[in-house]
A and B are shown apart, each in its own frame.
Chain A
Protein backbone atom coordinates (compact mmCIF):
# COMPACT_ATOMS: atom_id res chain seq x y z
CA UNK A 1 0.00 0.00 0.00
CA UNK A 2 1.13 3.52 -0.77
CA UNK A 3 2.43 5.64 2.11
CA UNK A 4 0.60 8.70 0.78
CA UNK A 5 -2.86 7.92 -0.58
CA UNK A 6 -5.05 10.29 -2.52
CA UNK A 7 -8.74 9.86 -3.30
CA UNK A 8 -10.32 10.06 -5.76
CA UNK A 9 -7.67 9.39 -8.41
CA UNK A 10 -9.88 10.77 -11.14
CA UNK A 11 -12.91 13.01 -10.97
CA UNK A 12 -15.02 14.79 -13.56
CA UNK A 13 -17.39 17.45 -12.29
CA UNK A 14 -19.36 20.46 -13.47
CA UNK A 15 -18.82 24.14 -12.93
CA UNK A 16 -20.18 25.31 -9.58
CA UNK A 17 -20.01 21.96 -7.84
CA UNK A 18 -18.21 21.45 -4.54
CA UNK A 19 -15.34 18.99 -4.68
CA UNK A 20 -13.18 17.49 -1.97
CA UNK A 21 -9.89 15.73 -2.57
CA UNK A 22 -8.58 13.67 0.29
CA UNK A 23 -5.09 12.72 1.35
CA UNK A 24 -4.01 10.29 4.02
CA UNK A 25 -0.54 9.17 5.02
CA UNK A 26 0.98 6.37 7.03
CA UNK A 27 4.49 7.83 7.21
CA UNK A 28 3.92 9.62 10.51
CA UNK A 29 5.01 12.93 9.00
CA UNK A 30 3.81 16.18 10.52
CA UNK A 31 3.98 18.39 7.46
CA UNK A 32 1.51 18.01 4.59
CA UNK A 33 1.19 19.93 1.34
CA UNK A 34 -1.19 20.32 -1.59
CA UNK A 35 0.26 21.13 -5.00
CA UNK A 36 -1.32 21.64 -8.38
CA UNK A 37 0.37 20.53 -11.62
CA UNK A 38 -0.36 22.18 -14.95
CA UNK A 39 1.50 21.48 -18.20
CA UNK A 40 4.33 23.96 -18.70
CA UNK A 41 3.91 25.42 -15.22
CA UNK A 42 5.35 22.69 -13.05
CA UNK A 43 3.90 22.25 -9.57
CA UNK A 44 2.54 25.19 -7.62
CA UNK A 45 1.81 25.18 -3.90
CA UNK A 46 -1.80 25.66 -2.83
CA UNK A 47 -1.69 25.13 0.96
CA UNK A 48 0.58 23.53 3.51
CA UNK A 49 0.21 22.47 7.11
CA UNK A 50 2.73 21.92 9.90
CA UNK A 51 0.21 20.24 12.19
CA UNK A 52 -3.51 20.11 12.87
CA UNK A 53 -3.60 23.68 14.17
CA UNK A 54 -1.18 25.27 11.71
CA UNK A 55 -2.32 25.83 8.13
CA UNK A 56 -0.70 28.19 5.68
CA UNK A 57 -1.54 29.55 2.25
CA UNK A 58 0.69 28.82 -0.67
CA UNK A 59 1.12 30.84 -3.83
CA UNK A 60 -2.23 29.94 -5.42
CA UNK A 61 -4.72 29.47 -2.57
CA UNK A 62 -7.58 31.53 -4.03
CA UNK A 63 -10.60 29.33 -4.77
CA UNK A 64 -9.38 26.54 -2.49
CA UNK A 65 -9.71 25.64 1.17
CA UNK A 66 -8.16 22.88 3.27
CA UNK A 67 -8.82 20.95 6.42
CA UNK A 68 -6.31 19.04 8.54
CA UNK A 69 -8.61 16.60 10.30
CA UNK A 70 -5.80 14.67 11.95
CA UNK A 71 -2.06 14.41 11.66
CA UNK A 72 -2.51 11.80 8.96
CA UNK A 73 -5.28 13.47 6.95
CA UNK A 74 -5.29 16.64 4.87
CA UNK A 75 -8.16 17.42 2.51
CA UNK A 76 -8.45 20.02 -0.24
CA UNK A 77 -11.82 21.55 -1.16
CA UNK A 78 -13.01 23.51 -4.12
CA UNK A 79 -16.16 25.25 -2.91
CA UNK A 80 -17.40 26.13 -6.38
CA UNK A 81 -15.32 24.50 -9.07
CA UNK A 82 -14.47 26.37 -12.27
CA UNK A 83 -12.91 25.05 -15.49
CA UNK A 84 -9.49 26.64 -14.89
CA UNK A 85 -9.17 24.45 -11.80
CA UNK A 86 -8.87 21.48 -14.13
CA UNK A 87 -5.46 20.05 -13.20
CA UNK A 88 -3.54 17.23 -11.57
CA UNK A 89 -3.41 17.67 -7.80
CA UNK A 90 -0.72 16.20 -5.57
CA UNK A 91 -0.53 15.74 -1.85
CA UNK A 92 2.91 15.51 -0.26
CA UNK A 93 4.32 14.96 3.22
CA UNK A 94 7.59 15.56 5.06
CA UNK A 95 9.22 15.71 8.46
CA UNK A 96 9.60 18.96 10.33
CA UNK A 97 12.72 18.16 12.28
CA UNK A 98 14.96 15.43 13.57
CA UNK A 99 17.52 13.16 11.90
CA UNK A 100 14.94 11.97 9.37
CA UNK A 101 14.39 15.52 8.17
CA UNK A 102 16.29 15.41 4.90
CA UNK A 103 14.08 17.99 3.25
CA UNK A 104 12.56 15.37 0.98
CA UNK A 105 8.86 15.56 0.21
CA UNK A 106 6.96 12.31 -0.40
CA UNK A 107 4.21 12.53 -2.98
CA UNK A 108 0.97 10.71 -3.55
CA UNK A 109 0.04 9.44 -6.99
CA UNK A 110 -2.13 12.41 -7.80
CA UNK A 111 -5.80 13.23 -8.30
CA UNK A 112 -6.83 14.26 -11.78
CA UNK A 113 -9.72 16.73 -11.67
CA UNK A 114 -11.66 17.85 -14.73
CA UNK A 115 -14.17 20.68 -14.38
CA UNK A 116 -16.58 20.97 -17.30
Chain B
Protein backbone atom coordinates (compact mmCIF):
# COMPACT_ATOMS: atom_id res chain seq x y z
CA UNK B 1 0.00 0.00 0.00
CA UNK B 2 0.86 3.65 -0.10
CA UNK B 3 3.32 4.80 2.53
CA UNK B 4 5.69 7.56 3.61
CA UNK B 5 9.09 7.12 5.24
CA UNK B 6 10.95 9.90 7.04
CA UNK B 7 14.40 10.05 8.50
CA UNK B 8 14.42 9.17 12.15
CA UNK B 9 14.85 11.79 14.80
CA UNK B 10 15.40 13.48 16.98
CA UNK B 11 17.51 15.90 15.00
CA UNK B 12 19.45 18.43 17.05
CA UNK B 13 20.98 21.48 15.39
CA UNK B 14 22.55 24.72 16.44
CA UNK B 15 20.85 27.95 15.48
CA UNK B 16 21.63 29.06 11.91
CA UNK B 17 22.58 25.54 10.82
CA UNK B 18 21.30 24.01 7.57
CA UNK B 19 18.40 21.60 7.89
CA UNK B 20 17.47 18.62 5.76
CA UNK B 21 14.75 16.15 6.72
CA UNK B 22 14.47 13.30 4.26
CA UNK B 23 11.12 12.00 3.08
CA UNK B 24 10.44 9.28 0.54
CA UNK B 25 7.17 7.77 -0.50
CA UNK B 26 5.74 4.64 -2.07
CA UNK B 27 2.56 5.06 -4.06
CA UNK B 28 0.79 3.76 -7.14
CA UNK B 29 0.21 6.96 -9.03
CA UNK B 30 1.14 10.56 -8.45
CA UNK B 31 0.00 11.92 -5.13
CA UNK B 32 0.11 15.42 -3.75
CA UNK B 33 2.83 15.81 -1.11
CA UNK B 34 2.74 17.83 2.08
CA UNK B 35 4.86 18.86 5.02
CA UNK B 36 3.01 19.55 8.25
CA UNK B 37 4.55 20.96 11.44
CA UNK B 38 3.47 20.32 15.01
CA UNK B 39 4.71 22.81 17.61
CA UNK B 40 4.75 21.64 21.24
CA UNK B 41 1.25 21.23 22.65
CA UNK B 42 -0.45 22.14 19.39
CA UNK B 43 -2.16 20.44 16.50
CA UNK B 44 -0.64 20.00 13.07
CA UNK B 45 -0.54 22.86 10.62
CA UNK B 46 0.35 22.90 6.96
CA UNK B 47 3.88 24.08 6.25
CA UNK B 48 4.04 23.58 2.48
CA UNK B 49 2.79 21.40 -0.33
CA UNK B 50 3.42 20.34 -3.92
CA UNK B 51 0.91 18.77 -6.24
CA UNK B 52 2.97 17.55 -9.21
CA UNK B 53 6.46 16.53 -10.21
CA UNK B 54 9.14 19.22 -10.04
CA UNK B 55 6.87 21.57 -8.09
CA UNK B 56 8.61 23.36 -5.24
CA UNK B 57 6.66 24.20 -2.11
CA UNK B 58 7.98 26.94 0.14
CA UNK B 59 6.96 28.75 3.30
CA UNK B 60 8.71 30.46 6.24
CA UNK B 61 12.13 29.77 4.70
CA UNK B 62 11.42 26.06 4.28
CA UNK B 63 11.45 24.43 0.86
CA UNK B 64 10.75 21.00 -0.60
CA UNK B 65 10.77 19.82 -4.22
CA UNK B 66 8.58 17.00 -5.55
CA UNK B 67 11.01 14.54 -7.15
CA UNK B 68 9.12 11.86 -9.04
CA UNK B 69 12.25 10.03 -10.22
CA UNK B 70 13.43 9.46 -6.64
CA UNK B 71 9.94 9.50 -5.06
CA UNK B 72 11.18 12.05 -2.56
CA UNK B 73 10.08 15.32 -0.97
CA UNK B 74 12.94 16.37 1.29
CA UNK B 75 12.45 19.37 3.56
CA UNK B 76 15.23 21.99 3.69
CA UNK B 77 15.92 25.27 5.42
CA UNK B 78 19.09 27.27 5.06
CA UNK B 79 19.28 28.70 8.57
CA UNK B 80 17.16 27.29 11.39
CA UNK B 81 16.00 29.21 14.42
CA UNK B 82 15.13 28.10 17.94
CA UNK B 83 11.49 28.76 17.07
CA UNK B 84 11.66 26.03 14.39
CA UNK B 85 11.87 23.37 17.12
CA UNK B 86 8.90 21.11 16.43
CA UNK B 87 7.89 17.77 14.96
CA UNK B 88 7.73 17.67 11.16
CA UNK B 89 5.49 15.26 9.26
CA UNK B 90 5.67 14.37 5.59
CA UNK B 91 2.41 13.18 4.06
CA UNK B 92 0.88 12.13 0.77
CA UNK B 93 -2.66 12.47 -0.53
CA UNK B 94 -4.70 11.17 -3.41
CA UNK B 95 -7.58 13.56 -3.96
CA UNK B 96 -9.82 10.81 -5.34
CA UNK B 97 -9.44 8.82 -2.12
CA UNK B 98 -11.38 11.06 0.20
CA UNK B 99 -8.68 13.62 0.74
CA UNK B 100 -7.16 11.58 3.55
CA UNK B 101 -3.52 12.12 4.34
CA UNK B 102 -1.06 9.26 4.80
CA UNK B 103 1.67 10.38 7.18
CA UNK B 104 5.26 9.47 7.82
CA UNK B 105 6.33 8.77 11.37
CA UNK B 106 7.42 12.34 12.08
CA UNK B 107 10.84 13.83 12.75
CA UNK B 108 11.48 15.82 15.89
CA UNK B 109 13.73 18.85 15.43
CA UNK B 110 15.42 20.58 18.34
CA UNK B 111 17.33 23.80 17.65
CA UNK B 112 19.75 25.00 20.33
CA UNK B 113 20.82 28.64 20.74
Contacts and interface: CB of A to CB of B under 8 A. Distances in A.
Interface residues of B, number: 24
Interface in B42-71: 42-46, 49, 51
A94 B101 CA distance: 11
B26 to A, nearest CB: 14
A94 B91 CA distance: 15
Given A90-B44, A103-B95, A42 B89 contact: yes
A33 B51 contact: no
Interface residues of A, number: 26
A103 B49 contact: yes
**Majority DSSP secondary structure for residues of B touching A:** strand
Contact of A110 (B34, B43, B51, B101): B43
Given A108-B43, A109-B41, 18 more contacts: A31-B98, A33-B100, A40-B105, A40-B106, A43-B101, A43-B106, A45-B100, A48-B98, A56-B98, A58-B100, A90-B44, A94-B99, A103-B34, A103-B49, A103-B51, A104-B49, A105-B101, A107-B43
